[in-house]
Chains A and B, each alone.
Chain A
Amino acid sequence: NAGVTQTPKFQVLKTGQSMTLQCAQDMNHNSMYWYRQDPGMGLRLIYYSASEGTTDKGEVPNGYNVSRLNKREFSLRLESAAPSQTSVYFCASRYLFAGVSNQPQHFGDGTRLSIL
């Protein structure tokens, strides 16, 4: 049981390049999330998908786009990378029923992204 799988684990980009971070979960969770983690700050929500077919902005969505490809997969795209997007990115998933849940959130191992 892999849980939440993120790829790649590390990436270095040049300013202006684009890339997509991939995330897949095998726990049949309906909600999925993308966070970024920066030194001295708590994790911040970039985008989330409460269920297949829906996506919504989080706290820091500027410069990012997402796609909920199917129930398992939720990708994060940087169209034109900027140094301010250097961060560690975490994907997470959770099961929600009618907007409530007693289940914890499961996190991937993170993608360490550096933009030069």
Chain B
Amino acid sequence: KNEVEQSPQNLTAQEGEFITINCSYSVGISALHWLQQHPGGGIVSLFMLSSGKKKHGRLIATINIQEKHSSLHITASHPRDSAVYICAVWHSGGSNYKLTFGKGTLLTVNP
């Protein structure tokens, strides 16, 4: 069983819709990353958070440490938001040197 599970695996939306991508994890963590990867492209860090909520433009990330769950929200989605969104966690306790990644959520936003 993967330690980091994302849902949904694929998501198609119409421009302007509110998007939610979920991430659940089974290990103790020190922090969680949300990453974005455009098709054939590199990986960009959107957020890193260990508690509460962060907002950047139309993107909002929340985390509930007790429930081991994080969500990434996109308000007023746009076709340029089409990408793979990846959740990754830094493990707490043992080594802080390693990230464990989810398999990603492919988001397609149609005009």
Partner of B45, one of A40, A56, A105: A105
Tally of chain A residues near chain B (CB < 8 A): 27
Q: Does B42 contact A (CB under 8 A)?
A: yes
- Majority SS of interface residues in chain A? loop
A42 & B98 in contact (Cβ 8 Å cutoff): no
B4 & A104 in contact (Cβ 8 Å cutoff): no
Given A31-B97, A99-B97, A42:B45 Cβ within 8 A: no
Chain B residues near A107 (CB-CB < 8 A):
35, 42-45
- Majority SS of interface residues in chain B? strand
Chain B residues near A99 (CB-CB < 8 A):
95-97
Query: What is the size category of the interface that chain B forms with chain A?
Result: 20 to 34
B99 & A105 in contact (Cβ 8 Å cutoff): yes
Please give the distance in Å from A2's CB to the nearest CB on chain B.
Answer: 12
B: residues with CB less than 8 A from A are 2, 4, 30-31, 33, 35, 41-45, 47-48, 50, 86, 88, 95-104
